Amino acid sequence: MVYEGTLAPMTWADAGYLLPEIILVGMMAVLIVLDLVMPKRIDRSVIGWLTLVAIIGSAASVVLRIGYRNIGEHQQPDVNGILHDSYRVDDFSLMFKMLLLLSAALIVLWSLGSMKRSASARLTHQAEYYYLLLPAVAGAMIMTSTADLITLYAGLELLSIATYVLVGLRARHAAAEGGEGVLSAKPAEAAFKYVVTGGISSALILFGMSYLYGLTGSTHISMIGGLLPESVDSFRTLLYVAFFFLLAGFGIKIAAAPFHAWAPDVYEGAPTPISAFLAVISKTAAAAVLLRLFYNIVFPAGYGDSVLSRDLFRGVLAVAACAMLAGTLSALRQRNMKRLLALSGVVNAGYLLVPVGLSFYGVHSNNTAELFFYAAVYLFMNIGAFAVLSAVSESASPAAEGVGDLKAFEGLYHRAPWTAGAMLVFILSLAGLPVSGGFFGKLFIMLGASSTHAYWIVAVMAATSVISYYVYFGIIRQMFMRSSGESEVHVPAATGVVIWICAVCTLVLGVAPNLLLHGFDEVFNLVGDLLIIRNV
Residue 178's Cβ-count burial label (10 Å; 0-12, 13-18, 19+) is exposed
Between 123-127, 430-434, 503-507, the lowest mean confidence (pLDDT) is in: 123-127
Predicted model pTM: 0.91
pLDDT at 176 over 60: no
Mean pLDDT confidence for 123-127: 77
Mean pLDDT confidence for 127-145: 93
CB 127 within 8 A of CB 44: yes
Mean pLDDT confidence for 147-158: 93
Nearest Cα to 532, choosing from 152, 209, 165? 152
Nearest Cα to 149, choosing from 219, 216, 99, 249? 219
pLDDT at 178 over 70: no
DSSP per residue, 501-522:
HHHHHHHHHHH-THHHHHHHHH
Structural domain boundaries of the chain? 12-170+183-530
Q: What is the pLDDT of residues 61-103, one digit of tens each?
A: 999 988 887 775 555 656 677 777 788 888 899 999 999 999 9
The reported pLDDT for the residue numbered 404 is 66
pLDDT at 354 over 60: yes
Q: What is the pLDDT of residues 47-60, one digit of tens each?
A: 999 999 999 999 99
Average pLDDT, the chain: 85
Q: Please give the radius of gyration of the chain, using alpha carbons only, rounded to the nearest integer.
A: 23
Using 50, 70 and 90 to split pLDDT, how confident is the model at 363? low
Q: What is the pLDDT of residues 299-316, one digit of tens each?
A: 776 655 578 888 888 999
pLDDT at 8 over 60: no
